[in-house]
Chains A and B, each alone.
Chain A
Amino acid sequence: MVYGRVFLRRILIGVALTIVSLVLFTVQAAPKTITFWHYWQSDEGKALEEVVQDFNKTHKDLQVKVLSAGTYENIHEKLLTAITGGNPPDVGVCSTDYLPEWVYNGALISLDSYIKKTRFDLSDFYPISLKLATINGKLYGLPLNQDTYALLWNKKLFRKAGLDPEKPPKTIAELDAMAEKLTIKNEKGEIVQLGFLPDWPWSHFPMVAWAFGGTFYNEKTKKITCNDPNTVKALEWEQSYYKKYGLKELNAFKAGLGEYATAGYAFYTGQVAMVIEGEWQPNFIKLYAPKDFEWGAAPFPGVTPELSGQTQSSATCLVIPKGCKNPKEAWQFIAWMERPENAGRFDAAISNVPPFKSLGQDPNYVKDPRFQVFMKLLENPKYQIWPQIPVAMNYMTQLGTAEEHVCVAGDKDPKEALDEVAKAMQAELDKALKKKR
């Protein structure tokens, strides 16, 4: 009996060792896999996955598992939770709206050392695209795509109102006059066609303020300046639309409008004649607008012609989250993705602005001349970006709420609302800067 047990035990040990060595061997021979989380859905998500599969086909030793891990609204929380839990994806995405806060709180790894080691060429990127991802001189992400905003108008409605459909407004005053002509009310006094509404479909207040010569932050004095006279004037201008057409009437009008990204979107149905929209519209209009929809795009006018062409820009960057277990491989994928032939392909598919000069100046990249308008905005030497301070997102949120109080709720005065935000954000900023991590 004792003899039998010893023999059995040896057989078991031998089998176990064989299995273990087989497993180790296969694990060694298998390609390394890294994970990549993004926030695009349905068609846009598929377009990204197609490009990533090209990487997988051409790189036998490194495979990328791509996952649509959320939507734009919640991807940052999900990434943050993963980083906190010690299990982040190897490559993530981060909007430059969130990037300053993320960098200041240590959530991302700087790409500088990898760029230097692999001698990655940054010269094809628009300077502004890189600036958006650079905090305190260090680069923390490479922009995968970028959003810019311009003024879009409905050419048919222009003709009906007796305006030249090829001549968009060149100043704010012209915009106001045209909006007036393009607004039609019915016998009951209800709005059936609205010329323009500054905070529809969503807020573009920073862009509007820059068009008025307003500021939000003084880098030298580290002071929050959202209550500077021009910024206040910009908010008063937004409020003037609500005052002119009536808060109740406008809210009732807005309540009857269709959903974004559907055929019922008010710009496509002709219920709103001019709108501030983003560079994905050429694609969306093809998908959702009626076949005979005629539209134009032009830089958003400024209060003077020199201030025209301001835009709100944010880029989605590929980033390496803190706690990433395979940073070298993560960089390998990012470096491959951030080439005009790869990222550019994805951007063309979703009609987003690529961050590469070579594509921006290529007339064959996206043949629609209206798309060129969005791209040309990146070359504006007077390009402004949202302050890259540790409380950037908090600031943007509070500003948005102030705008809502003034326009949608009508229960605050522009100067009073902006003074409050300036006071609250200055306190937050001072606290954050003292922390110096």
Chain B
Amino acid sequence: MLSSLYYSFTDYNLIQVPTWVGIQNYREMADDHLFKISLKNSFLMTIMAVPLTTLLCLSLALLLNHQIRLRSFFRSIFFLPSVVPMVAAAVCWMWYLNPQYGPLNKFLALLGIDGPNWLRDVHWAKPALVMTILWVSGPTTVIYLAALQSVPSHLLESAELDGAGWFRRFWHVTLPAISPAILFNVIAGLIDSFQIFTQPYIMTVNPQNPLPGGPANATLVYAINLYNNAFKYFKMGYASALAWVMFVIIFICTALVFFTSARWVYYESEGGEG
């Protein structure tokens, strides 16, 4: 980490000895339109991915919390995608999203929907990548599941006795009880989505776009721009500076979420508010 901080103040092309340039790399970022585009793309991906992941995983956890037959089987099934190596999964996703042969568009056609050209369409490439993020959210579901099982049952029972329906029990008892888990998953999801690399790197390369990040920079996320600068444009010093800026941005976002959490997160150890 320290050496990357050092490199961020140098001009380093990986082949020759780095030369000190002070804060020039950081100044360059202000004018770099690819930096701004990649920042925007990463923010958009995070804003799409984190709420959707929370909704999906929480819903799945609620369903998996019931005493149904084959419960462990279903739990394993939903956890399995996160165990598959991401590179292999990304290659499979490319086939899955193929507009002509892929199962997704064939399925949409059954519903009468004309599926888009996913990875080659400027508007649908990012949603396609968000889908792959949702697909590997098994661990998040497991964490929610564990949290759900530690909801104090006496509170749920007394709420039921007081005449609260399912939704009110969920909103006033369950949610506050699992809010620490939600906080953890939101922060973890934020950090992960912002740094996503494998899926765009593998899935957006094709004969039309030999460099990842297409089409028209729609999937040029922060990590991809960093990678291009480091390994294609011989600007390892600039890439190191980009890495440190990413660290600071994620740190600030995490801190924001953490500090506003006092208003909506309830810890069991505290007085019992809520």
Chain B positions 220 through 237: 1 when the CB is less than 8 Å from some CB of chain A, otherwise 0: 000000000001111000
Residues on the A chain within 8 Å of B31, using CB: 427
Report if A43 contacts B (CB, 8 A). no
* A49 nearest CB across to chain B (Å): 24
Q: From residue 193 to 252 of chain B, which have CB atoms closer than 8 A to chain A?
A: 205, 207-211, 214-218, 231-234
A106 and B13 in contact, given A77-B232, A424-B33 (Cβ under 8 angstroms): yes
CA distance A397 to B215 in the complex (A): 12
Stretch touching chain B among A131-139, A144-152, A225-233, A251-259: A251-259
Chain A positions 421 through 437: 1 when the CB is less than 8 Å from some CB of chain B, otherwise 0: 00010010000000101
The residues of A with any CB-CB pair to B shorter than 8 Å are 72-73, 76-77, 80-81, 83-84, 101, 105-107, 201-203, 251-252, 254-258, 260, 322, 391, 393-394, 397, 400-401, 404-405, 408-409, 411, 420, 424, 427, 435, 437
Q: Contact: B210 with A72, CB < 8 Å?
A: yes
A251 and B121 in contact, given A101-B233, A105-B16 (Cβ under 8 angstroms): yes
* B255 nearest CB across to chain A (Å): 33
Residues on the B chain within 8 Å of A77, using CB: 231-232
Report if B122 contacts A (CB, 8 A). yes
**4 nearest A-B residue pairs (beta carbon):** A255-B117, A404-B216, A255-B99, A409-B122
Q: Contact: B231 with A80, CB < 8 Å?
A: yes
* A106 nearest CB across to chain B (Å): 5
Report if B161 contacts A (CB, 8 A). no
Q: Contact: A420 with B15, CB < 8 Å?
A: no
- Residue from B99, B120, B231, B234 having most chain A Cβ neighbours under 10 A: B234
CA distance A203 to B217 in the complex (A): 15
The residues of B with any CB-CB pair to A shorter than 8 Å are 11, 13-16, 31, 33, 99-100, 114, 116-117, 120-122, 205, 207-211, 214-218, 231-234
Residues on the B chain within 8 Å of A400, using CB: 209
Q: Which residue of A lies closest to B117 (CB)?
A: A255
Q: Contact: B211 with A397, CB < 8 Å?
A: yes
Interface pairs (27), CB distance under 8 Å: A77-B231, A77-B232, A84-B14, A84-B15, A105-B13, A105-B14, A105-B15, A106-B15, A106-B16, A107-B15, A201-B208, A202-B207, A202-B208, A251-B120, A254-B120, A255-B117, A393-B232, A397-B211, A404-B122, A404-B217, A405-B216, A408-B120, A408-B216, A409-B122, A409-B218, A411-B216, A424-B33
Q: Contact: A256 with B13, CB < 8 Å?
A: no
Q: Which residue of A lies closest to B28 (CB)?
A: A431
* B67 nearest CB across to chain A (Å): 45
Q: Which residue of B lies closest to A81 (CB)?
A: B231
* B144 nearest CB across to chain A (Å): 37
Q: Contact: A251 with B117, CB < 8 Å?
A: yes
Q: Contact: A201 with B207, CB < 8 Å?
A: yes
Q: Contact: B16 with A256, CB < 8 Å?
A: no
Q: Contact: B116 with A73, CB < 8 Å?
A: no
A255 and B33 in contact, given A84-B14, A435-B11 (Cβ under 8 angstroms): no
CA distance A404 to B217 in the complex (A): 9
The one of B100, B205, B218 that contacts A73, using a Cβ cutoff of 8 Å? B205
CA distance A258 to B122 in the complex (A): 20
A257 and B100 in contact, given A105-B16, A202-B207, A420-B33 (Cβ under 8 angstroms): yes
Residues on the A chain within 8 Å of B216, using CB: 401, 404-405, 408-409, 411
Residues on the A chain within 8 Å of B13, using CB: 105-106
CA distance A400 to B208 in the complex (A): 9
CA distance A84 to B117 in the complex (A): 39
Q: Contact: A260 with B120, CB < 8 Å?
A: no
Residues on the B chain within 8 Å of A322, using CB: 15
* A247 nearest CB across to chain B (Å): 10
Residues on the B chain within 8 Å of A105, using CB: 13-16, 234
Q: Which residue of B lies closest to A321 (CB)?
A: B15
Q: Which residue of B lies closest to A260 (CB)?
A: B207
CA distance A427 to B33 in the complex (A): 12
* B139 nearest CB across to chain A (Å): 30
Residues on the B chain within 8 Å of A257, using CB: 100
- Residue from B16, B218, B232 having most chain A Cβ neighbours under 10 A: B232
CA distance A373 to B66 in the complex (A): 71
